[in-house]
Amino acid sequence: MPPRKSYTAAFKLEAVKYAKENGNRAAARNYTINESMVRSWRKQEDQLRLTKKSKRANRGHKARWPALEDKVESWILEQRASLRGVSTTQIRLKAIAAAKELNIVDFQGGPSWCLRFMRRKQLSIRSRTTVCQTLPADFEEKLVNFRAYCIDKVADFNISPDSVINMDEVPLTFDMPLNRTVEKRGTKTISIKTTGHEKASFTCVLSCTASGFLLPPMLIFKRKTMPKENFPKGIIIKVNEKGWMDNEMMKSWVTECYVKRPGGFFHTRRALLVMDSMRAHITKEVKDVLETVNTTPAVIPGGMTKLLQPLDISVNRTFKMRMRSQWEEWMTSGEKSFTATGRLRRATLAEVATWVVDSAKSVPKSCVVNGFKKAEIFAYKEDAPMVESDSESEDDEPLINMDTRITPELAELFHSDTEDEDFDGFSDSED
């Protein structure tokens, strides 16, 4: 007996369409199938349209207790609507309770029933996704206004690309392991070796210019005293109890990092500093310090850094990738020291600082420039197209017209906007 053939849902729908136009018998001859199959498929047309086109059969047991499964499905949807997690164990327990309510005496609610139930209801086990930044309701208006504000200031003061700067804080940890790894199939326990400092955090302050120049990074470690180590050149080391940016750290960044931009030492040319609305960025003391270095601040509206901050758009991801490569190389090469209890010591602060310097230097200039072009806060010349880089692959978008102007009242908004909440530093458990 020849083996039975199976057909995809797309093939069946094609045969049904042909049968509607030419008849069942003609469709059977044209597709070399039995006429009874065509009649059966025409009855299943609505179901076939809801089926995946590449699926070859509509096999599977029908629900023995459809009312019970509908009740459990409704409960799952209610739980997920409230953003509660639902496990297969909870599903089985709920099903058993529902069976008692419906007076079903022969229901077991085992793992195999749960698997078939999830297939019938198009349910699957999913990983929790990262909560992304939510754009404000009026983000389109704010987007246009902020870009116009930046373009306006650049035109008014004739600001060069070297004097348009973006700064941002990047939280980092001493261990940067991958969450996934290659392993033999069937291995039950998947471990990745670290020094146990995945939550020990510090802050790296990055800043770049619209011309593609990266300013010296600044590291803020969570400690009370300055470390007595030999740090590499090209980096500024600071410490405080929270390991995060505050008013004093911001003023230190302006006087020690910001002034090292091209032409920034004598402050003869007006500059534009683009930054998010973190509270430490916009205090009166910080604004006064910025005025002494001939700088106009441009504060990104809350919740819109992923659209308007060049560092977030293209640079930070590339920088973190380089940092992880440095950490992985350190973990897999050279001899390591251990504590008295046999625990692997983490990298020294000087080694971490070296990683930061090397990672910052390895960020391509095109990556930085593309971030500013995507943010559209600086109008480049038309003969300078966006350069392709390993961190950018999206299509180019038009830049804001240089003739755009905004009112002084609207411009004042970009000096006083704040986030709803501020970051208060890393917790004590991260030490």
Q: Is residue 20's pLDDT more than 90?
A: yes
Reported confidence tier of residue 245, pLDDT bands at 50, 70, 90: very high
Instruction: List b or e across 272-300, with b for residues whose CB sees 16 or more CB atoms inside 10 angstroms.
Output: bbbbbbbbbbbeeebeebbeebebbbbbb
- Please count the other Cβ atoms lying within 10 Å of the Cβ belonging to residue 98: 21
Distance of CA 404 to the CA centre of its chain: 32
Predicted local distance difference test score (pLDDT) of residue 264: 79
Q: Is 130 exposed, middle or buried (0-12, 13-18, 19+ CB in 10 A)?
A: exposed
Average pLDDT over residues 9-29: 93
The Cα–Cα gap between 380 and 360 comes to 24
pLDDT tens-digit series, residues 140-155:
899 999 999 999 999 9
pLDDT tens-digit series, residues 335-359:
777 777 777 888 999 999 999 999 9
Which positions ≥6 away from 132 have C-beta within 8 Å? Answer: 306
Average pLDDT over residues 38-44: 92
Q: Is residue 2's pLDDT more than 80?
A: no
Q: Is residue 61's pLDDT more than 70?
A: no
Residue holding tokens 């300013």? Answer: 215
- Please count the other Cβ atoms lying within 10 Å of the Cβ belonging to residue 166: 31
Rounded (5°) CA angle 216-219-221 = 170
Reported confidence tier of residue 133, pLDDT bands at 50, 70, 90: low
Q: Are 357 and 326 in contact (CB under 8 A)?
A: no
The Cα–Cα gap between 125 and 390 comes to 33
pLDDT tens-digit series, residues 148-206:
999 999 999 999 999 999 999 999 999 888 777 777 677 777 777 788 888 889 999 99
Of the ranges 46-60, 99-113, 114-128, the best mean pLDDT one:
99-113
pLDDT tens-digit series, residues 290-322:
999 999 999 999 888 989 999 999 999 999 999
139: nearest Cα among 251, 300, 250: 300
